[in-house]
Structure formats: structure tokens, C-alpha cells
Structure 1
Amino acid sequence: MRDELAFENCRRTAEEASSLPPQCYVTDGAQHAEVERFFRRGWVGVGRSDMVAGTGDYITLDFAGQTVLLLRDKDGGLRAFANSCRHRGARLVDGEGTCKGIRCPFHSWFYALDGRLVSAPQMEAAKGFDRADNGLIAYRAEERAGFVFVCLDQTAGPLDDHLGDFLDIHAPWPLAKLQTVRRRELEVDCNWKMFLEVFNEYYHLPFVHPDSIDSIYATPDPADQVAGAFATQFGRTEGTGALLESAQDNALPDMPGLMGQAMQGARYTWVFPNMTFAANKDALWCYEAYPQSPNRCKVVQTACFHPETCALPGFDTRVAAYLERLDAALAEDVPALVNQQRGMECPDAVPGRFQPDLEPNVASFARWYSSAI
């Protein structure tokens, strides 16, 4: 793909940079390169740790042509395996749940929570067969600040090298303590990068969200200079950005322990390649986006709150207004994204310039992408 696309202008500062070439959003070749480089060889954000909170909890994660089984072992550690039996490749489980081990539904091979093959009926007849050599294919899985990251490549660098100073910048928010209230999956008819881009820019707010959330957001601060594969920008809000303009009376208390700037607005962060979130003073909402085709992606939305907030009387009623805000904003974003995808597929589409104050996170991703791909 590097021979086909010119990335020179993407590597400049936001004040001078242009967006990624349109081919990155519409061609099979671009998606193949992204899957191989980003999703198969790098660290991927796959959601919140409490997806698998207790021993034996599991969830299946299907992304970028890969099928992963994520679970919590007996020692409380996070494990990720290929969701494929070592016998003849059958898919082991679907969905999510709790188990004492993993049993293949085809021939009843049984695996412990640490991936060891415990039993394989009648396999003693196979010469040289050793259960120790036939455990599940393991991947790397780690937790930071309540987020889960998976890497399929055993030779890739450490997660902390990828994240850089991510933990320091987000230290004002108790991210690791937050509880998931709702996890929602959907599919959107746009390229996966487009979905993440719109979440990370303020430029569209008065035009796509004029009557829902635009008036809440002030002009954001300059983007932070970071040392990691992420981009982040803080912006002050009038009220809480986690509620619609018309629903501010439903505001929940600030997260315990917040101080200074963190009490004044929201930090929008994009952890490359595929996870983004807003750390607000009263809530966290997170999105993951995964490619399905050049013009279609799977999106996972997660809404999180502090345990003390979740324990308040009337929380279930008040949180409904927060979830309504997420759904309403998404319902306004999706048509804009579908329309952008249609326009990007024009054979004569060309890269455009960024608004440097309102789109710096998007410019940072383009700069990272153009070097990483």
C-alpha cells in the first residue's frame, strides 16, 4: 500500500497536515494492510476489564477476521486464546458466560482456564500424543486503567511501550475502578477509521449536533503532547457532556477524588489503532471500532460509572438519561458517517486539510498511521 498512497502531508503538524488519502477508506488493499499490521501484529484495545470480572468469566471477541476467547483464570489473571479447538479446529464457545473450563462441543476435548488440555477422549491410541503439547493457542492479554489490550503477535513490543505516558495523563480519573453499566454492539456503514475520527473532533458539533450537545462544549484546549501511540485533548463543558442539553437536571455527582481540570469537562482520547473514550467528570464512555469491509465496521459502545455513583438511590432512573444521550448523539453521527463514506468513494476524492484546533486528534492518528502502516 505504501507504493500506492502518498502519506507525506499526513506527517506534518495539524496546522499543516492533510487527511489520509481516500484510498485508505475504500480499498480492500488498504484494509488488508491494516488488519495485518495493526490487528494481527500490534496491541488492540478490546474493551473494559469487567467484561470478565470473576473467575471463569469469558467472552468471545471476533474482530478483523480473528476469533479470540478472553477469560479470567483461577488466579484472577486475564487470558486470551484462539477460539479454536486444537483437535480439528472447531469453534469452542460463543457469546459470554461463566465456566469451570472450556469443553469443545465436537469431540469433548476439555481445557483448563489456563489453556492446558485436561482431557481428550480415547487419544491414548494416538502414538506420541501428549496433552501438554496440545493446549489452546495463547495470545497476550493485559489490563491498564480498567481497559483490556490483546496482542496476537508474541514478538511485538511491550504494551507499556505502546502506551507511553497514557497512565500519567489519565491519572486524575479513577478509570480502573469504573463499572460497566451497558455494553452495546452495532454495525455502521462506514470505514472503521471514520467512526473513530468523528468521536475525536469538535468541528462537526454545531452542524451535526446543533440541538443535542453542541452548546455544552467550549472550544477545547490544545491537544496534549504525548509519548505513546495515542492522542488526547481536554475540553471544558457547560454542565456535563454526558447528558443532552435538555437533560442536565439528571446530572449525577462527579467521580470521587477528582480535582482541578478534571472537574471542568472531558478528556477525549484515542488509543491507536481502534479504541477511543471520553473521560468525563461523572462518566466514561468508550468505543471500539473493527473493520468488516472497507465501507462497514463493527462498533462496541461501553458506558461506565463509579461504583459509589452506581450505588446511589435512583441511579437506574438517572442513568437512563445518560444512555439516551449516547444513543441520540450516535443517531446523529451515523447518517453523517454514511454520507462521508459515500463521498469518499468518489474516484476523484482527495485528502483535505485539518482544522488544527478542532481536529488535532484526527491529525495525530493520520500521522501515526502513515508511519505505522
Structure 2
Amino acid sequence: MRLSADLAEALGRCTGLAADSHTLPAACYVDPEVAALEAETVFRQGWVGIGRGDRWAASGDYAAMDLGGVPVVVVRDEEGVLRAYANTCRHRSAQVMEGEGHCTKMRCPFHFWTYGLDGRLLGAPSMRDTNGFERADHGLIEFMTAERQGFAFVSLEDSPPPIDDWLGDFPDLHARWDLGSMVTTRRREFTVACNWKAFAEVFNEYYHLPYVHPGSIDDTYDDPDDPEVVVGAWATHAGTTQGTGGLLEADQVKALPVIGTLNDREAHGVRYSWLYPTLVTATGAEGMWMYEVYPDGPDRCRCAQVVCFPPETAALEGFAEVAEAYYERFDVAIAEDIPMLERQHRGMRSPFARQGRFSYLEPNVARFAGWYADRLLSVG
């Protein structure tokens, strides 16, 4: 697909700071042709975050997923290395694995072609009369993976940019949280009837707080600091809080210990970051909460809420009971967001939907819009 002149012109208005740029055009959220172009330029180029590496804690742990329309299976091999493969059998292309779990081998259920955790074809029944057939030539197609700061990434590109260039200064700005040592204490999956970008956007702006979250979390948050200029494929903004951003206003007395390595401002605030395209994170005084968000066509997204704490916090007596108050805060907030996101998506389907302008409370959303527009405009 090539961009229409009108869409290219609209995307060109999305670059720049929040005060100068426009929102993404509605077609980027609802048009199947744009979604197909997005799959090529956003999900099959560069790196895609797939969550926390401890989802694959042991050798043989696997998870099947869809990344921009490409079925992928991710598994930790016998050496502890995270591997990613095209989830497509080399015989007649059935998906080899479904769901997630633990395995010692990966077996296609159609004709029982069996692969090792290293992707090699180990067994292919009834192929002895096939001329020139060699198992060594029929291993699963492998993609590049990387793990940084406890996060896992996959690239579907043959020669992606170095992962450390992609992440830029994300590790430096999050160094005092020691994200790589945090442990996942909850992962909850769900779907939403909206475009994946809209879900990620609502996590990254303060503008809606008094209107969508009155009485739950709005009064916890002060206005964010001025946006920071960062290097890499990500955006961030930080701000102070009244109490902790990880709890509802009524539950502030239940706060877990503050991470001891944080400076005073970090210990009294939250940093919201967006690792393009799929991971949005909030690093607070006690831990981190985040969402993975993946497209399921233009009108639906698959999400996972992930909560992480330092291991010493998770080991505290009574942690499980106190952590439930944090999970409730995240569940309440997203339950308030989802009806508005679905309402927004219905509005975006109108032929009269037009580009808008950003508030100073939406710097991360504006920065992403510029990055996304550049990706689509790269095809000409």
C-alpha cells in the first residue's frame, strides 16, 4: 500500500512538540489498509516489546503470540536463552504451538513434525521416500531476541538496529528502579474493543484524569513535569503524587516500602514511559505496573496488565494481601478507562472524525504520534 496524498499530508502534521503538532488521523485507528501498512512498518521493522522476561522463567517455558499479523512462538531454550520462531510448521504451515506453558519439544499437531527448543527439526514421520529431504533444512525460522532491564524484545526484521540504540537512554533514566531485578507478581490478560494505540495513549496522558477517574486516582496526581527530551524509540514524562500513584485514594495507608535507591522526587511520584510500540510502563515509589498491548485488527486489542516489585518487597510477610490493594487500583482505573476508549473508537469510525490538537498534558502521546507518522511516511 502507498499512502494517499491526504493521509500523507495529515501524518505530516503530527511531527513536532505537543504544542505544535496534531493528533493522528482517525484512519490510523480504524482503516484496515492503514493497519496492514502499520504491520509492515511498525511491527515488522525494529523491535517489539513482548513483556517481562520472567514470563519465561525456566527452560521450556513458551508462549505463542501474534505480532502484527505474524504468528510467533517464544521459548526459553536449554541454555536459558530466550528464542523466538515463526509459529509456522515447515511442512504445511500449521501453527505449531498455542497458548503458553512448558514443553521439552515443540510438536505440530497436524502431522507431528517435532522441533527442539533450538528450532531444529527433530522428527518428521513418513518422509523416508521424499527425495532430497533433509531435516537440517527444515528447522523453524528464527527471529532475533533481546532482554534488557528485565524486558523481552523480538525483531521480525532481518537486520534490526542494535537493541541498545533502540532503547536509547531508557535504561539510564530508570536506573535507580533496578528494573532488571524486579519480579512479576501478577499478569492478567484481557481484550478491549478499541485500537491498540488508543489503549497505550490513555496510559500516557494526565488530561483525562479529572473527568474519567474522579474519586479513584485523580486527586493522587499533580500536574506532570515539563516533558523530557529522550534518545531512542520511547517517550516519558514524570510527575509528583499525593501519596503513592500505585494505590486508590482511599487505600494510601496500605503503601508498601519505598524503593531505597530512588531520589526524593522519584520516591514521591510516578514516571510514565512508552517503549514503542507495545509496552507502557509506570515506575512508582514501590514498584512498576505496565501494560503490553497488541493489535487484533484495527478495532480490537489484546492487553496484559503486569505488576512488578523488588524481590525483597515481594518476600515481605503479608505481601500477597497488601499487593491486592495495588491490583485493585489498577483494575479500577482500567475499568474506568475501557468504556471511554470504546466510546472513542466508535467516534473515530465516523466519516466526520478530524484531527485534533494536543494539550500540554499529553506529551508522550504527541511524541508517539510523531514517531508513528514517520514510520508510515517512510514508505512514501
Determine if the TM-score, normalized by the shorter chain, exceeds 0.5. Answer: yes
Identify the residue that residue 59 of structure 2 maps to in structure 1.
Answer: 55
Q: Which amino acid aligns with 1:359?
A: E
The one-character-per-residue Cα deviations of 1:245-266 (angstroms, maximum 9, x if unpaired) are: 0111211112343334321211
Query: In structure 1, the residue corresponding to 2:136 is in which secondary structure?
Result: helix
Cα distance, 1:14 vs. partner? 1.3
Match of 2:155 among 151, 172, 176: 151
Identify the residue that residue 4 of structure 1 maps to in structure 2.
Answer: 6
Tell me the distance in 1 between the aligned counterparts of 2:75 and 2:160.
22
Tell me the distance in 1 between the aligned counterparts of 2:353 and 2:213.
26
Q: Which amino acid aligns with 2:6?
A: E
Tell me the distance in 1 between the aligned counterparts of 2:71 and 2:281.
24
Equivalent pair of 1:287/1:301 in contact (CA under 8 Å): yes
Q: Which amino acid aligns with 1:368?
A: W
Identify the residue that residue 305 of structure 2 maps to in structure 1.
Answer: 301
1:370 aligns with 2:352: no
Tell me the distance in 2 between the aligned counterparts of 1:305 and 1:102.
32
Query: In structure 2, the residue corresponding to 1:154 is in which secondary structure?
Result: coil
Tell me the distance in 2 between the aligned counterparts of 1:278 and 1:95.
27
Q: Which amino acid aligns with 2:313?
A: T
Identify the residue that residue 202 of structure 1 maps to in structure 2.
Answer: 206
More off after superposition, 1-10 vs 92-101: 1-10
Query: In structure 2, the residue corresponding to 1:142 is in which secondary structure?
Result: strand
Cα distance, 1:2 vs. partner? 5.2
The one-character-per-residue Cα deviations of 1:287-326 (angstroms, maximum 9, x if unpaired) are: 1222223222111211111111111111111111111111
Match of 2:233 among 229, 234, 240: 229
Gaps of 5+ in 2: none
Q: Which amino acid aligns with 2:369?
A: A
Query: In structure 1, the residue corresponding to 2:219 is in which secondary structure?
Result: helix
Query: In structure 2, the residue corresponding to 1:219 is in which secondary structure?
Result: strand
The one-character-per-residue Cα deviations of 1:73-94 (angstroms, maximum 9, x if unpaired) are: 1111110011122122222222
Match of 1:171 among 157, 170, 175: 175
Match of 1:36 among 30, 35, 40: 40
- Report how many aligned residue pairs link the two structures: 372
Q: Which amino acid aligns with 1:33?
A: L
Q: Which amino acid aligns with 2:364?
A: N
More off after superposition, 102-111 vs 311-320: 102-111
Cα distance, 1:155 vs. partner? 2.5
Identify the residue that residue 128 of structure 1 maps to in structure 2.
Answer: 132
Identify the residue that residue 274 of structure 2 maps to in structure 1.
Answer: 270
Cα distance, 1:268 vs. partner? 0.2
Tell me the distance in 2 between the aligned counterparts of 1:189 and 1:102.
32
When normalised by structure 1's length, the TM-score is 0.96
Identify the residue that residue 361 of structure 1 maps to in structure 2.
Answer: 364
Tell me the distance in 1 between the aligned counterparts of 2:337 and 2:233.
25
Query: In structure 2, the residue corresponding to 1:372 is in which secondary structure?
Result: helix
Tell me the distance in 1 between the aligned counterparts of 2:5 and 2:303.
30
Identify the residue that residue 246 of structure 2 maps to in structure 1.
Answer: 242
Cα distance, 1:42 vs. partner? 2.7
The one-character-per-residue Cα deviations of 1:212-249 (angstroms, maximum 9, x if unpaired) are: 00111111111110111110001111111011001112
The one-character-per-residue Cα deviations of 1:106-130 (angstroms, maximum 9, x if unpaired) are: 3222211111112223423222111
Tell me the distance in 1 between the aligned counterparts of 2:110 and 2:74.
20
RMSD after superposition: 1.4
Identify the residue that residue 188 of structure 1 maps to in structure 2.
Answer: 192
Identify the residue that residue 142 of structure 1 maps to in structure 2.
Answer: 146
Equivalent pair of 1:173/1:262 in contact (CA under 8 Å): no
Identify the residue that residue 93 of structure 1 maps to in structure 2.
Answer: 97
Query: In structure 1, the residue corresponding to 2:158 is in which secondary structure?
Result: coil
Tell me the distance in 2 between the aligned counterparts of 1:71 and 1:260.
40
Identity %: 51
